[in-house]
Copies of this chain bind each other. A is one copy, B any other.
Amino acid sequence: MAQKIKLSTIAEALNVSTATVSLALRDSPLVADATRERIKEHARTIGYIYNRRAASLRTSRSGIVGVVVHDIMNPFFAEILRSIESELDRSRQTFLLSNHYDQLEKQRTFIDTLLQLGADGVIMSPAIGTPAADIQLAEANGLPAVLIARSVEDADVPVFRGDDAYGIGLATNHLISLGHRRIAMIGGTDQTSTGRDRYRGYVMAMEAAGLPVETRWRIPGPRTKQAGFEASQQFLALKDKPTAAVCWNDLVAIGLMNGIARAGLVPGVDVSVTGYDDLEEAAIATPALTTVWNGQREVGRRAARTLLDRLNGVEVHGGQELIRPELHVRQSTGKPVER
């Protein structure tokens, strides 16, 4: 690798100042057209590489936006990420991705890295137990934050998430209207705002219909296909086995249906199952999954836009913005069959 090419290399070769080169490369109208073209042409031919670290040290804007979620491999987040990506792409921000796997320490390390790199902002689905102080620390050091999927109490930043209580109510009421009276709730945890809201939505719907809510019908925990698959055993062994299951998300629902099928029962007939999120996969599952669309693309798009607005100095108010979910009925739910 030859001598490093920098602004001054170009400046010397063309007999102009580095200031002129700098301005020309950034298409400043201050530079005469001819000069600008000459400079850009030369930069291209000698293979000049812009040094963003140097620029950012000077300007204190880095062009980096951090995104941290529980797990990027989870298709729910994957769909959100895709829409954040496409939104950010057009603004020429680089996005730095990370998982925290719900470990506060990992999340802190990532935020620290962003601060060190002088990132312009962060979009995060906060790890379980994130204190408001962690977010305030970021904000206080010039790293504006926008939350997705989960909220953090007392953190005065914008939050975009689905209306979980309402959404799970749609699924529960759908089952009730089909005639189900014993309905289980599988998966989720009380440690997240989402978990609490969904359970509350389920209980409210049951009670509004005058149906009993048995604590043993709740199997908390599962959030993955594998865990849903394993939960099927517990579900099938339940005394007064429910005829339907409201699942935490599509992954749990699909796993549960696989487990039910493995046990020789027919999901959608012997047991009605609802999912949540409406992943691409829901429509091609067997049977096709009745589920609640959770507005992933919308969440990602609005979170990204809001952050970009903040970066551009637009005044943005904190607080939750709830996306309204929709029920998508398919083949995994039907009238109850008693055997």
Pair A142/B1 contact, Cβ less than 8 Å: yes
Q: How large is the interface on A (under 10, 10 to 19, 20 to 34, 35 or more residues)?
A: 35 or more
Of A8-16, A52-60, A155-163, A302-310, the segment with at least 4 beta carbons within 8 Å of chain B is A52-60
Q: Tell yes or no: A172 within 8 A of B by CB.
A: no
Given contacts A57-B57, A285-B258, contact A81 B85 (CB under 8 A): no
Of A29-37, A110-118, A313-321, the segment with at least 4 beta carbons within 8 Å of chain B is A110-118
Pair A73/B81 contact, Cβ less than 8 Å: yes
Q: How many copies, total?
A: 2
Q: Mark A292-309, 1 if CB is under 8 A from B, else 0.
A: 000000000000000000
Q: Considering the complex, which residues of chain A in the window 282-296 have a beta carbon less than 8 Å from any beta carbon of chain B?
A: 284-286
In the assembled complex, which residues on chain B have CB atoms less than 8 Å from the CB atom of A1? 140-142
Pair A261/B281 contact, Cβ less than 8 Å: no
In the assembled complex, which residues on chain B have CB atoms less than 8 Å from the CB atom of A192? none
Q: Mark A258-284, 1 if CB is under 8 A from B, else 0.
A: 110110000000000000000011001
Pair A94/B81 contact, Cβ less than 8 Å: no
Q: Tell yes or no: A99 within 8 A of B by CB.
A: yes
CA distance A229 to B281 in the complex (A): 11
Q: Mark A127-150, 1 if CB is under 8 A from B, else 0.
A: 000000000010011100000000
Given contacts A1-B140, A81-B73, A116-B50, contact A258 B229 (CB under 8 A): no
CA distance A56 to B284 in the complex (A): 49
Q: Tell yes or no: A75 within 8 A of B by CB.
A: yes
Pair A85/B56 contact, Cβ less than 8 Å: no
Q: Mark A52-86, 1 if CB is under 8 A from B, else 0.
A: 11101100001000000000110100100110010
A331 nearest in chain B by CB position: B262
CA distance A51 to B119 in the complex (A): 11
* Given A47-B141, A51-B116, A51-B118, 20 additional A-B pairs, CB 8 A: A1-B141, A49-B115, A49-B116, A49-B141, A50-B116, A52-B116, A53-B56, A53-B57, A53-B117, A73-B78, A73-B82, A85-B99, A94-B113, A94-B117, A96-B96, A96-B97, A97-B97, A226-B280, A229-B284, A258-B286
Instruction: List A residues at the B interface (Cβ < 8 Å).
Output: 1, 47, 49-54, 56-57, 62, 72-73, 75, 78, 81-82, 85, 94, 96-97, 99, 112-113, 115-118, 137, 140-142, 225-226, 229, 255, 258-259, 261-262, 280-281, 284-286
